[in-house]
Amino acid sequence: MSAITVNSKQRMNSGFEIPVLGYGACLSSVRNQIPNRVACPQLITTLRPADICEDVVRQAFKAGYRHVDCAAAYLNEAPSGKAIRESGIPREDIFFTSKVFKRDLSYEGVKSQVDKSLKESGLTYLDLMLIHAPFGGSQGRKGAWKALAESVEEGKVRSIGVSNYGVHHLDELEQHIKELEEEGGKGKGGVISVGQWELHPWLPRADIVEWCKKRNIVIEAYSPLVRGQRLDDKDLSPLMKKYEKSAAQILLRWSLQQGFVPLPKSITSSRIQDNAAIYDIKLTEEDMKSLTFDNAYSPSAWDPTSLQSQRELASHLYLGSAVTALTVMATVFNIFEFDRMLRSKKRSVVKHMGPFVTTTGLQCTKEELAKAASDLQWTYAQQANHSSQALDKSTDAPAKDLGNEFVWECELEWRFINLVNYIGERDMQKYDMSVSPNSASYQGD
């Protein structure tokens, strides 16, 4: 392997190049943290204004990053795009990624989302567009891919790929590409340039990595720092001492030497800089082996690639529907209590500590709060209906389709987050800059 530097890039199957280190802007505008319980992910969200995202992307550029990873679901395309446009750095020197979320996983949905992402970011093209996760069922995924391939031909997107796909999803996509090539037509089959997964020593995903490397697909690693959960691991200590580097820097260097493109995120200026200071060391073969755990499986967040977790998800959604209903009711109650506290002028430090949002100084009308309550109730009914249907058909449906059309990760929380983000952008006076109420030691992922 040639020496890796701040200017190193990998060539993709599309013919374009991608910087080997990216800045993960994931939820730097709206933070979404899911503990390591796939079957029961309690969502803790801290609202962050768009200018925070814009500022940290600028800091990343100052630290040498030229690669920004965003997603439509995280509401960070606009502030990231603004930071790019105003950076003074030539557009061709910056690599910008976005992703299509599950609700848009269809042909028409992706066509619309690509245009929306261009509008939101203010950019004339997207360097990379990924399918965020393999939801939507087989037909939804296939339609989404065809739309991405056409977007490449139209010049709106330069390279395309997938995120969180399991091997069976990748096999399905490969076959679909062959079919599209045979059929001809606009965009034809497209090429898989990039695949993105949570990857680190405790989640090596050997089967997926092997599949991609055989096809020269660039592998991106999100959560390369395991969301701060392993920074005190005993296996890192000897290497930290040997190289006089932090645990985060050792993990990022490990990722680079695996041939991955790591996407660390942080909103702290010093950590953004530290995460980029990894080019002056090289781990030895023995060092790399010391961080090789072949059979490890410890995701720090969700894992849509895992069949087991999808089955657990189905069971949880069905059996836990009563708990979910109570959670929604409690949240709605707390929203109105929050509003009452604000209107009684207790506004210096007001925190709602429910399962959906932590923020300070939020001002909103009763009509907006009522809309939030209505949306939450409607979404709960839809979610419960999807989970019931999924279990009803689980006996005769292909195992790989379980969980594709219903995902707890999104709708209930997402509608509320979107509404709060809108209110916050308009009226917020103060912001809670802590990471979350119960993760004081969190250092990014």
C-alpha to C-alpha distance for 189 and 150, rounded to whole angstroms: 9
- Rounded CA-CA distance 138/72 in Å is 21
Counting beta carbons within 10 angstroms of the beta carbon of residue 425, is it exposed (0 to 12), middle (13 to 18) or buried (19 or more)? middle
Residue 355: how many other CB atoms lie within 10 Å: 17
- ∠ CA 411-416-420, nearest 5°, is 145
Cα–Cα distance list, 230 to 32, 226, 239, 441 (Å): 19, 6, 14, 11
Burial 274-283, CB ≥16 within 10 A → b, else e: bbbebbeeeb
23-24: strand order across its sheet: 23-24, 67-69, 95-100, 126-131, 157-163, 192-198, 218-222, 261-263
Mark whether 222 is an active-site residue. Answer: no
Asked if residues 47 and 362 have their Cβ atoms less than 8 Å apart, the reply is yes
Over the Cα atoms of the chain, what is R_g? 22
**Which entry of 23, 65, 74, 380 is annotated as an active-site residue?**
74
279 part of the active site: no
Backbone angles phi, psi at 241, to 5 degrees: -70, -40
What H or E segment, with its residue span, contains residue 108?
helix 107-121
From residue 260, give the alpha-carbon distance in Å to each of 43, 117, 170. Answer: 28, 26, 18
CB 426 within 8 A of CB 211: no
Q: Between the CA of residue 191 and those of 17, 145, 153, 160, 161, what are the distances in Å?
A: 14, 10, 12, 7, 8
Q: Which of 23, 65, 67, 132 is catalytic?
A: 132
Catalytic residue list:
74, 132
